[in-house]
Amino acid sequence: MDNRPRNELIAGRYEIRRAVGSGGAGAVFQAWDTQLQRFVAVKRWKPLEPIADDPAGTERLWREAMTLAAIQHPNILTIHDYGMDDEGPYVITEFVDGETLDQCIKRGPFDLAAFADAAQQTLEALIAAHQAGLIHRDLKPQNIMRTRLPSGAWQYKILDFGLARFVTRPTLQSLEGNTSIYGSILYIAPEQLRHQPLDARTDIYAMGCLYYYMLSGRNAVEGDTIPALITSHLEHRITPLAQWRPDLPPAICDWVMKAMAFDPDSRFATAAAALAALRPALPGGLRQTSIRITPAVRPATTPTIVIPPPPVITGAVPLPSPPRRAAPRWLLPLGVAIAGAIIGTVWLLRPRPEPAAPPPAATVTSWRDESLPVEDVISLWPGSIAEARRPLVQQYFEQLRDLDGPKWGSIGTVLETLAGLQYNARHNPRESRAFCNLTYHNATGRCLGEIDVVIWNVAAQRAEIVYEAVVSDQLNRKAVSSRNQIQRFIDAVKDGRAVRILYPYDATLKFEPSQFSQARPAILGNQGALAAGFDAEVDITRFETDYLQRRLIDWRKAKQARRKTAPVRPAD
């Protein structure tokens, strides 16, 4: 336990009262907020070596903390403040006086009713965080707390959301006897061990392992050593839950095992999908919730997804049937702290096939449009796109290249389409959708302007947010002329000049101006927009957007040329 002096002040405001817990990752203290006169928790991390001297690393930490602080959800620990001093980064949160889920389960497995309550609350927390672009990466019973409400009901809270990757990377020596690392290993997903991109399904796997432990009182993977546990994960040596709890409904056991599937594509695609599947599996169903999840503030990066066709909306229209869609992979591919040490030590102990070598990449300083080859995997990169960023740009390219709608006439179209895809990948199409490049027209049919991105409330049949997109190397909200474009649209709706609003990629889709009367205007930008005061951002730079636009145009031209030269098959 850290013997920090009592009454030490942090940020001139938070007075340390006592140590609550400590470990290899850092320490937690109870403190007194001298301004608001309340108890808070102070968590300090042992930072990665570069973070103190790396402004970019520090900025990433604060941006992620800002995103988390913006999430107001009863099942996620609330962040009040954050900062950095001579001892490293710290976060000020609400103080939760309760017990960890690990302490609860040690007294015995949960019955079905208690499990249903805990699962619903924790899944609702995941839904909120994932929609904001955050994955936890280190879900385990020690990171979930339970406390009694005045009503007598239990409330569960997930701790440390989005901040797990800022702890010290363990060495092989520190793995031995480190119970916190051991606990993480029990819930880590196979793709984390393999250093593959992470997304919402990574957290789904961890929650599946946690629910297995909650219902059986046993860990899903077993082993006496860390290498043995890793092997159990990678070979998926998991005893079916029904073997330990034959009294449970088979549908519940199947649900837990699906969440823990080895292949991410075989798991629930989102926390919302998992919650929807849990409801009919429970004999008594789930409680109805009044929690409203707001649209994500910060769109995050995505690998390849398929955008479903938009619903036809003309006045009051019934909800569309759920389209088939690829499993969304929409979160930043961030590694977990322990994975580096595991891959560098333990994973080398067992044979594995060599990965396929990526195609050779060349770097150029300039190019002409006709000098860029048309290829599935980009091999010619400008030096101004960092090597670490190229996989992300490649993913964007794969995500956008075969869309038939956008013409890629501007770099703004690239940003807007990415924002729409990312939003739709994270939301239930029965509840909320994003539409891009809508146009509004007067009574004569003349186009009065364009709306870059619209967040559409499907249930209420109205627009919630209208975004104008800005791509710039010098982001400054006060200097954005786009605010006037949004205001022109709002004025055209109010004074009746806008009589129809059209979606250019589907002629059957028409909106009524009255459906936009309550929409909130907002500004969307490229990387760095949130720090500049914008309302949302897509993780892509101005130069990357320009380069991607050129590649998409070349791909479209080559695709059209192939269609023209393709031989015509004779009719049977």
Catalytic residues: 138
| Upper half-sphere CA count for residue 103 (Cβ side, 13 Å) | 8
Residue type, 67: T
Cβ pair 205, 228 in contact under 8 A: no
Angstrom distance (rounded) from CA 361 to CA 378: 8
Sign of CA dihedral 308, 460, 294, 463: positive
- Angle (CA) 133 336 49, round 5°: 110
| Bridging pattern class, strands 362-364 and 380-382 | parallel
The label of the residue with tokens 């937690």 reads 28
Sign of CA dihedral 227, 231, 234, 240: negative
Which helix or strand (DSSP H or E) is residue 301 part of? Answer: none
Which helix or strand (DSSP H or E) is residue 157 part of? Answer: strand 154-158
Angstrom distance (rounded) from CA 266 to CA 255: 12
Angstrom distance (rounded) from CA 213 to CA 243: 13
- Crossing angle of helices 200-216 and 250-259, rounded to 10°: 140
Strands (E), 445-512: 447-457, 462-470, 500-502, 510-511
Angstrom distance (rounded) from CA 370 to CA 391: 23
Angstrom distance (rounded) from CA 540 to CA 552: 15
Angstrom distance (rounded) from CA 109 to CA 379: 53
SS3 of 18, please? Answer: strand
- Least Cα distance to 188 among 167, 202, 168 occurs for 202
Distances (CA, A) of 397 to 42, 296, 400: 42, 23, 5
Which helix or strand (DSSP H or E) is residue 432 part of? Answer: strand 432-441
SS3 of 531, please? Answer: coil
Which helix or strand (DSSP H or E) is residue 32 part of? Answer: strand 26-33
- Crossing angle of helices 271-281 and 200-216, rounded to 10°: 30
The label of the residue with tokens 């999430």 reads 71
Distances (CA, A) of 30 to 26, 42, 314, 371, 385: 14, 6, 55, 61, 44
The label of the residue with tokens 């770097």 reads 363
DSSP state of 81: E
**Cross-strand partners of 547:** none
